[in-house]
Amino acid sequence: IGDDAAVVRLPAGHRLLLTTDLLAEGIHFDLTTATYEDLGYKAAVANLSDIAAMGGTPRHMLVAMALPADRTVSQIRRLYGGLMKACRQHGVALIGGDTSASRGGLFISVTLTGTAPPGQVLMRDGARVGDFIYVTGTLGDSLAGLNLLTAQRRKNPPRYERTLMNRHLRPTARIAAGQTLASRGLATAAIDLSDGLSGDLAHLCEQSAVGAEITATALPLSPACRAYAAAHRVDPTRLALAGGEDYELLFTVSPKNRATVDRLAHEAPYRITSIGIIRPKSFGLRLRDEEGSLKKLTISSYQHFQNPPTVRS
Amino acid sequence: IGDDAAVVRLPAGHRLLLTTDLLAEGIHFDLTTATYEDLGYKAAVANLSDIAAMGGTPRHMLVAMALPADRTVSQIRRLYGGLMKACRQHGVALIGGDTSASRGGLFISVTLTGTAPPGQVLMRDGARVGDFIYVTGTLGDSLAGLNLLTAQRRKNPPRYERTLMNRHLRPTARIAAGQTLASRGLATAAIDLSDGLSGDLAHLCEQSAVGAEITATALPLSPACRAYAAAHRVDPTRLALAGGEDYELLFTVSPKNRATVDRLAHEAPYRITSIGIIRPKSFGLRLRDEEGSLKKLTISSYQHFQNPPTVRS
């Protein structure tokens, strides 16, 4: 910081991974449901999760912000505090920051580098017919949490509601899981769940030119998500399929590595669940429902630009 | 493109340079005076110039945009066209792009990587008392061009006006100059002129803990800038000192390398001019004016965030 560009040194021979995100107020985040610290934390995790999905080690973060004139120094300090908190957990150095004015809401641009040894990078295009489909953690918690945050809030929310809101505001990037899968050559393809299972599975299958069959009863649901679904009479399977911003990893495993991954799953401090199988492209994306019948998998995840805001600038 | 992060390979042992910019409509650019292609071109050059100032070779660009719903596909295509045109000139690969919605104007985030061999990186903190201060090209053209673009336009502007408007809309990043200075160890410090000579000189002097004396009569002015100054009765020295976005390089040279740099200046296809000398910190920043007397150098360059927009979001 202080020069025109940051100068960094990378491990010899490693590949450089680069990811960037531009987050817009009123589109990607809303400061009525999140604090500035939450926002910073989540902006960092969204990028950390991209590096996790590649199996890399996150290294350096650059942040640029455009700030409306009504924001205070204390708010911006809390935003950076959230960014740095998430970075510290993964040994990431915040090496550049830039702020300028904005006439239209707060915008945050985060760029993150990562590194990985050659041949140990997870891509989206390696899934093959017969591979098993896995996810880390549980699905749908973030969407349930968002629903709770945007609804009329209770004064003393039950514990499961607090769990879900926290999962939405403070997600976890699965860095260690991605590194293990990449360094041991256990995954044929991987993607992080930012758009939701159905949408991100569609991305992975498109890049790999394959189809997929997902088993509804296999989808990992947290007790909190089940409690929310029961209380609000919603189908938890739909939350798991459509819910964005879980930041779990979706990955595919060839039959010969299945036993190894299942062994790892037993040792991991979070769930690693087999939820389906890769099928030929002509099969498309299908869901085996609770009754055992196959139906088309609806891609219901949120796509920012295909749902433009109704409020014009 | 297609994966969570881009994967690139760097020359063995080289340092990685990283720079990022977030450009906001109505703050950094205005689409009434620039086309979408101009905007893309200039957004790329602003970042290329940062790598030039470090003496690096630009390598990979990532672009993220937040787009209001009223923008057309054709406008965005022209914006990318401008970005790619500037990238192509320097062999830079556009390796990632992301667009999302915006409720408050167009925002463009550009991240650029560069590389440089270890020990061949130009920094801002190496200027020493007695070093000579140089600039590439001519100064003030971009500000004169901006003034012309925002004023009532003439139907058939004279050639010098077209030259100045073009210098504002299509600046040049001094990549080759930066690389030569860095690889041959000729500069003790360098910065690119984005805020204007007075402001950027202040940044360099602050980082190097030195002062500086600039000779007004030495400032390189183009014939077009002189013609503009005469026609509008403005002081061209003020344009040169205050004008931002020239994207020329300001650098310092130790006395032992002065002859070498002067020889290079004769061979270069653009001007390289000695404009002053580094003084002790206690000297401050001073200008030797046309009459030969020393006065305080006013730092008059535009600083986005210290001049917040008067229109609130």
Q: Look at A109-118, A242-251, B122-131, B149-158 and tell me which has the smallest mean pLDDT.
A: B149-158
Average pLDDT over residues A228-243: 95
Classify residue B308: in a domain, yes or no.
Answer: no
* Shortest alpha-carbon distance between residue A119 and chain B (Å): 11
B191 touches chain A (CB under 8 A): yes
Determine the Cα–Cα distance for residues B183 and B55; give it in Å rounded to an integer.
8
A140 and A269 assigned to the same domain: yes
pLDDT, position A300: 74
CB contact under 8 A, A3 and B96: no
Structural tokens at position B192: 């690119």
Q: A107 in contact with B at a CB cutoff of 8 Å? A: yes
Q: For chain B, give the percent of residues with pLDDT over 70.
A: 96
Do B143 and B252 fall into the same domain? Answer: yes
**B45-89 pLDDT per residue, tens:** 999 999 999 999 999 999 999 999 999 999 999 999 999 999 999
| Three-state SS letters, chain B | CCCCCEEECCCCCCEEEEEEEEEEECCCECCCCCCHHHHHHHHHHHHHHHHHHCCCEEEEEEEEEEECCCCCHHHHHHHHHHHHHHHHHCCCEEEEEEEEECCCCCEEEEEEEEEECCCCCCCCCCCCCCCEEEEECCCCHHHHHHHHHHCCCCCCCCHHHHHHHHHHHCCCCCHHHHHHHHHCCCCCEEEECCCCHHHHHHHHHHHHCCEEEEEHHHCCCCHHHHHHHHHHCCCHHHHHHHCCCCCCEEEEECHHHHHHHHHHHHHCCCCEEEEEEEECHHHCEEEECCCCCEEECCCCCCCCCCCCCCCCC
In a domain? residue B169: yes
Are residues A139 and A106 part of one domain? no
The rounded mean pLDDT for chain A is 92
Residues A287 and A147 both lie in one domain: yes
Closest in A4, A95, A111 to B54, CB measured:
A4
Residue B308 pLDDT exceeds 50: no
Within the 24-43 window of chain A, which residues sit less than 8 Å (CB to CB) from chain B?
24-28
In chain B, residues 114-153 whose CB comes closer than 8 Å to chain A: 114, 116, 118, 121, 123-125
Q: Which residues of B touch A118 (CB under 8 A)?
A: 9
What span, in angstroms and rounded, lies between the C-alpha atoms of B103 and A311? Answer: 7
Our count of domains for chain A comes to 2
Q: Are A305 and B99 in contact (CB < 8 Å)?
A: yes
Q: What is the pLDDT of residue B43?
A: 96
Amino acid at A295: K
DSSP-derived pairing of the beta strands B294-296 and B211-215: unpaired
Residues A38 and A103 in one domain: yes
Within a domain: A102: yes
**Together in a domain, A175 and A287:** yes
- Above pLDDT 90, what percent of chain B? 83
- Reference B193, options B173, B208, B209, B176; nearest CA is B173
Residue of B nearest to A103 (CA): B313
User: What confidence score (pLDDT) does residue A301 get?
Assistant: 54
Cα separation, B307 vs B286, in Å, equals 24
Quote the pLDDT of residue B96.
85
Residue A2 exposed, middle or buried by CB count within 10 Å (0-12, 13-18, 19+): exposed
Report the relative pairing of strands B285-288 and B211-215 from DSSP bridges. parallel
The reply to whether B312 falls in a domain is no
Higher pLDDT, A7 or B129: B129
CA distance B19 to chain A (A): 5
In a domain, B26, yes or no: yes
pTM: 0.91
Min Cα separation A58/chain B (Å) = 11
Cβ–Cβ gap A96/B19 under 8 Å: yes
Element (DSSP H or E) covering residue A44: helix A36-53
Question: What is the chain B residue with the closest CA to A118?
Answer: B9
Q: From B62, B92, B116, give the residue that closes a domain.
A: B116
Residue B234 included in any domain: yes
What is the tens place of the pLDDT at every residue in A261-272? 999 999 999 999
Amino acid residing at A161? E
Do strands A294-296 and A285-288 pair parallel, antiparallel, or not at all (unpaired)? antiparallel
- Per-residue pLDDT, B226: 98
Average confidence (pLDDT) over A281-305: 84
Residue A151: per-residue pLDDT = 87
pLDDT in tens, A68-118: 999 999 999 999 999 999 999 999 999 987 888 998 899 999 999 999 999
CATH number at residue A281: 3.90.650.10
- Answer whether A2 touches B (CB < 8 Å): yes
Which CATH number fits the domain that encloses residue A29?
A: 3.30.1330.10
Query: Is B307 contained in some domain?
Result: no
Distance CA(B204)–CA(B189), nearest Å, equals: 8
For residue A92, the SS3 value is: coil
Chain A interface test: which of B3, B49, B61 (most A C-beta within 10 Å): B3
- Check pLDDT > 50 for residue B312: no
> Mean pLDDT, chain B, as a whole number?
92
Mark whether B112 and B142 lie in a shared domain.
no
In this structure, the answer to whether residues A218 and A287 fall within a common structural domain is yes
CA distance, residue B105 to nearest chain A CA (Å): 6
Do B147 and B290 have their domain in common? yes
Asked if residue B155 and residue B86 are part of one domain, the reply reads: no
State phi, psi for B211 to the nearest 5 degrees.
-110, -175
Asked whether the predicted pLDDT for residue A162 surpasses 80, the reply is yes
- Cβ–Cβ contacts within 10 Å for residue A308, how many? 17
Q: Tell whether A188 and A51 lie within a shared domain.
A: no
Are the Cβ atoms of B20 and A192 closer than 8 angstroms?
no
**Whether A136 and A206 share a structural domain:** yes
Out of B27, B51, B62, name the one closest to residue A102 (CB): B27
Q: Domain span at residue B233? A: 132-296
B18 touches chain A (CB under 8 A): yes
Q: How far apart are CA A210 and CA A73, in angstroms?
A: 50
Q: Which chain A residues have a beta carbon less than 8 Å from that of B311?
A: 103
SS3 A278: strand
Asked if residue A39 belongs to a domain, the reply is: yes
Nearest-by-CA chain B residue for A122: B3
